[in-house]
Amino acid sequence: MIPEDASALMLERGSPQPLGLSAGALRALVRPAAGGRVAAFWREAAGQRAEVLMPMDDRGFDPLFWPKAGTYPLVPFSNRIRAGAFSFGGLEVRLAAHPTCEPHALHGFSQLREWRVTQRSAAQIEIRYRHDPAQASDAWPWMFEAIQKITLDPAGMTHEIGVESHADTDMPVGLGLHPYFAVARGDSIRFSAQGEWEQDEDGCATRLRRLEGSARQQDRRHDGEPFTLYYAGWDGRAVITRQDGATITIEADQPFDHLVVHVPPGGAYLCIEPVSHVADAFNLASRGVAGTGMRVLAPGGAIWGRMRIGVT
């Protein structure tokens, strides 16, 4: 099942233009109407443009088949919910399956919606998406507002994301950010994590495996081989060392202690996704599985996470 209003977000040429941010040699474009996405992030030096993220083009796109570029928000959950269904607080929730991974739901739905600009300056923008179950065709039964604050400085970009509950009852929640980094074969990726989640053939997590000793230190060369891995107990830092001389440092705060690392077939890009929970966390938690990262917001509660991308 596809959300009834998804086609209404098909962006055509002539849609609202990206909004630019700048600080020093760094530049970014934000597209609030295109699912609250950072559409591009790059450094200009000596007349040359060096992409940090894979850039989106200006063409329209089907929001259910989004371009593999920029960064988009993961709200109110990250990754998959098995069969698009879970139980919480006596409610049986059934969400739309995503057409690329049916029958599972994928990556929340805020990236399918238009966000509105609430603050803007030369180097910073704040955008918001308000979810009202009475006005939305999806089946998420809790009211909430999501907020993104994106700030450039001469050394990097800070991307904050939060969720405020406006529901009358407790709400399960997850959040994260999904950047597509520009990489080339031979670039290195380094980070540390205490555990790795095993997963089934559908990409849903099944069991947490603790990593010991040197196995906690991940040091990979980007070689184009595809993989998707789920880590827990991430220490909040990852470094991409590129052959063009750039070093990209990804840092994140709590609640982003889970990490998804993904390379597609052919290795055109690299996703390093700071997230608050593992794939299918809501169902795992309902079965008593520990360490999933699922959070619960009380009425009026809020949760915030921060990712910084440093460029040197």
Which residue ranges form the domains of the chain, and what is each CATH number? 6-311 (2.70.98.10)
pLDDT for position 46 = 84
With bands split at pLDDT 50, 70 and 90, how would you rate the model's confidence at 264? very high
Q: What is the mean pLDDT of the chain?
A: 93
Paired strand residues for 100 = none
Mean pLDDT of 135-152: 91
- Range with lowest mean pLDDT among 44-48, 80-84, 201-205, 212-216: 44-48
Describe the chain by its helix, strand, coil percentages, rounded to 5: 10, 45, 45
Convert the pLDDT of each residue in 244-254 to its tens digit.
Answer: 999 999 999 99
What tokens does 101 get? 């991974």
Specify the residue for token string 């990489």: 183
Specify the residue for token string 């069991």: 207
With bands split at pLDDT 50, 70 and 90, how would you rate the model's confidence at 7? very low
Mean pLDDT of 86-94: 95
Mean pLDDT of 125-137: 91
Convert the pLDDT of each residue in 103-115 to its tens digit.
Answer: 999 999 999 999 9
Percent of the chain with pLDDT over 70: 95
Convert the pLDDT of each residue in 268-297 to its tens digit.
Answer: 999 999 999 999 999 999 999 999 999 999
Q: How far apart are CA 217 and CA 190, in angstroms?
A: 7
